[in-house]
């Protein structure tokens, strides 16, 4: 589940009174989400999402995230829109935590993504990248090459508990990626965590993107690599090139990819796979007694990494 902080009804009523959204009718903790406490807040003014930011999100980053959502919503991206209080502020405190209210987005995330979902996703991702181009905020990606190094060091030889030899393999993979990581490719705002549970659909059409709490400045094509990993592998581990082709085609209809970006894709897919392998590995090795969220299998991303290491070229992703 994802409710770590309890809010009393008096605190909630006083908090909501800071906004122009009517009075509280109901407020239910949402089981989805891992990082923060999320509530579906219903008021006489409509439906909203109330988020209490828990310790995994840096408080200093919150103005960046909320400012980005303001910016993207203003550019027509279907993302949560921060609700500003009567004092103009979108960020305040509730039950001892930083907290915000954002608009509620209709839609359901796809439990079994189909090719058409990937086609919708590609276009939305490109529009997101274009809409973010003139956002003035900046946030470094702390889960890129240097961040992987820190995670590898933090896991150390304990990686071998998950798979014998894994610690050494991670070292070799990191060295290879660090020395070959491309420079000079187009950069901008990326979502950096656009998994199926962060993308809503209504009757087959993409209706919303949520959970921008990993958003940062990085190579735009790296965001594509994250999506290829998250959307285009089947549960049996096979890579569905039809899904990848549709995702990339629809992306390129909105924003063209340079030769250099396409050439870099296999390497970036390896990097994206390593990133999720490492955070999952770290969480696996550092399970909290009585935690409410089960850690995800790190080796799923080990197998994805192996796929990308083995591709002969961009044809494997449906590009030519």
* 8 touching its own copies, by CB under 8 A: yes
Site map (CB under 8 A) of its own copies, residues 36-75, x = contact: ----x-x----x----------------------------
* Total residues belonging to the chain: 320
Find, among 314, 306, 302, 301, the residue nearest to 230 by Cα.
Answer: 301
**Which letter does DSSP use for residue 81 in this model?**
P
**Candidate list 48, 200, 222, 284; residue touching its own copies; CB under 8 A:** 200
Q: State the minimum distance, in angstroms, from the CB of residue 194 to its own copies.
A: 18
Under the binding rule (CB under 8 A), the answer on residue 162 touching its own copies is no
The span of 23-31, 61-69, 219-227, 303-311 binding its own copies (CB under 8 A) equals 23-31
Find the shortest distance in angstroms from Cβ 149 to its own copies: 31
Whole-angstrom distance, CA of residue 310 vs CA of residue 58: 37
Measured CA distances, 216 to 139, 153, 277 (Å): 5, 23, 19
Cβ atoms of 267 and 182 closer than 8 Å:
yes
Choosing from 9, 153, 259, 320, the residue that interacts with its own copies (CB under 8 A) is: 9
CA-nearest of 268, 280, 290, 272 to 159 is 280
Instruction: Note whether 108 binds its own copies by CB under 8 A.
Output: yes
Q: Pick the binder of its own copies from 17, 21, 27, 241 (CB under 8 A).
A: 27
d(CA 160, CA 316): 30
DSSP structural state of residue 191: -
Q: In angstroms, what is the minimal distance from the CB of 162 to its own copies?
A: 17
Interface with its own copies by CB under 8 A: which residues?
1-3, 6-9, 12, 23-32, 40, 42, 47, 104-108, 110-112, 200-203, 290, 292, 294
């Amino acid at each position: 589940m994802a409710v770590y902080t309890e809010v009393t009804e008096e605190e909630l009523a006083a908090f909501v009174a800071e906004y122009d959204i009517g009075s509280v009718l109901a407020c239910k903790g949402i089981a989805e989400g891992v990082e923060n406490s999320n509530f579906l807040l219903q008021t006489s003014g409509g439906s909203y999402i109330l988020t209490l930011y828990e310790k995994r999100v840096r408080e200093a980053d919150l103005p960046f995230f909320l400012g980005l959502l303001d910016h993207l919503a203003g550019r027509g991206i279907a993302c949560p829109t921060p609700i500003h209080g009567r004092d103009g502020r979108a960020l305040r405190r509730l039950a001892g935590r930083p907290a915000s209210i954002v608009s509620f987005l209709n839609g359901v995330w796809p439990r079994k993504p189909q090719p058409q979902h990937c086609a919708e996703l590609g276009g939305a991702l490109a529009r997101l990248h274009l809409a973010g181009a003139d956002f003035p905020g900046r946030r470094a990606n702390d889960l890129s090459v240097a961040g992987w190094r820190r995670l590898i060091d933090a896991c150390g030889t304990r990686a071998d508990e998950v798979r014998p030899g894994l610690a050494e393999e991670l070292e070799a993979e990191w060295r290879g990626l660090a020395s070959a990581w491309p420079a000079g490719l187009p950069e901008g705002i990326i979502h950096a965590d656009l998994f199926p549970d962060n993308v809503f659909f209504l009757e087959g059409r993409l209706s919303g993107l949520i959970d921008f709490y990993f958003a940062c400045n990085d190579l735009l094509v790296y965001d594509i690599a994250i999506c290829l990993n998250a959307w285009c592998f089947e549960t049996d581990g096979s890579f569905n090139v039809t899904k990848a082709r549709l995702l990339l085609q629809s992306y390129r209809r909105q924003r063209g990819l340079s030769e250099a970006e396409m050439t870099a894709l296999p390497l970036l897919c390896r990097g994206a796979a390593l990133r999720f392998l490492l955070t999952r590995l770290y969480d696996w090795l550092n399970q909290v007694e009585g935690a409410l969220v089960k850690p995800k299998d790190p080796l799923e991303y080990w197998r994805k990494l192996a796929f990308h290491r083995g591709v002969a070229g961009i044809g494997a992703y449906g590009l030519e």
